[in-house]
Amino acid sequence: MTREFSSLSFISSDTESARAAAQHLASLYGQADPEQADVVVALGGDGFMLQTLHDTMDSGKLIYGMNQGSVGFLLNEYREDGLRERIQAAVEHHIHPLEMTATDSDGNSIHAYAINEVSLLRQSYQAAKLRVLVDDRVRLEELICDGLMVATPAGSTAYNLSAHGPILPLEAPLLALTPVSPFRPRRWRGALLPNRVTVEIDVLESGKRPVNAVADHTEVKSVQRVVVRETEKVTARILSDPDHSWDDRILAEQFLY
C-alpha cells in the first residue's frame, strides 16, 4: 500500500544550525502543526531524536530525523532537496521500548520507558553490589561493579557498546545484559537474553552503596529494586532512508575497527 504524506512538521533542537534548517525547510515544504502532521521531521542530534521519539511514543506519529548534531547515528543525512520523495521511500521501523519500574529508598515506585537502555550506576565512591534475577530465578547472587544495564537492539550501539556489550541486529528478539566495570565475578562479561523475559535487579547494601537507575533521560536516585521488561503496549515509529536504514547502520558498526 502506498503511503501518502501530505503534511510535514519541522521541529528542531535549540542549536542555531538546527533552528535555521527547520525554518528553511518549512519555507520550502510548508509547516503543519505537529499534532496534525502526517510526519514530524526532527532536526538535531541523537539526543534530540531520542527525546522526540519519547514525546511521540504511542501516538502513532511517524518520525523522520535529519542530522544537525554531531554523530547522528539515529538520524538520516541532512539534505534539502527531494524531501517528500525521500520520506515516501523511507523504511518504517516499530520500536518497542523497555519499561522500567524502580523502587526508591522511600518505597516509591517510578515508571519510565527506555528506547536505548535501562542502566544502574553507582552513586558514590564504592562499587555497587547487585543481585540479578531473570524471570524470578536468581542468575547472579552478587555482582560487584560500577553498573549494569539492559540494552535494546536499538540501543546496543550506544552506552552498551561503550561498556563492551554486544551489538544486536535491530530485528533480533534479544536484550543485552551488560556490566559496567565488573569486579566480581571478574570474568562475567554479560548475557544475551530473550526479549520476553523480565529482569529484576536488587541493590544490596543500598545504604552503604547507593545506586541510581536511568531509563534513557529519566533518572531515579537511590533505588532498592529495578524491574525491566520490554513492552509491546507502547510503540515508537521511525522512518529511515532505505540506503541508510537502522539495520544497515547497526550492521556497519560490527565491521568498524
Side-chain-side CA neighbours of residue 248 (13 Å)? 9
Listed as ranges, residues in the chain with pLDDT below 50 are 1
**158 labeled part of a ligand binding site:** yes
The pLDDT of residue 251 is: 76
User: What is the b/e burial string over 4-27, where b = at least 16 CB atoms within 10 angstroms of the residue's CB?
Assistant: ebeebbbbbbeeeebbebbeebbe
CATH number for the domain including 38?
3.40.50.10330
90 labelled as ligand-binding? no
What does DSSP assign to residue 125?
S
CATH code: domain of residue 206: 2.60.200.30
Residue 122's domain comprises 98-230
> Does residue 9 have a known ligand-binding role?
no
Whole-number Å distance between alpha carbons of 134 and 130:
13
Sheet holding 147-151, edge to edge: 191-194, 174-180, 147-151, 117-122, 211-215, 218-220
**Residue 157 among known ligand-binding residues:** yes
| Domain identity same for 244 and 221 | no
Report pLDDT digits (tens) over 64-115.
999 998 877 889 999 999 999 999 999 998 999 999 999 999 999 999 999 9
pLDDT for 4: 67
How many domains is the chain partitioned into structurally?
A: 2
Please state, in angstroms and rounded to a whole number, the distance separating the CA atoms of residues 234 and 134.
22
Query: Which positions are annotated as active-site residues?
Result: 46
pTM comes to 0.90
Tell whether residue 116 is among the known ligand binding residues. yes
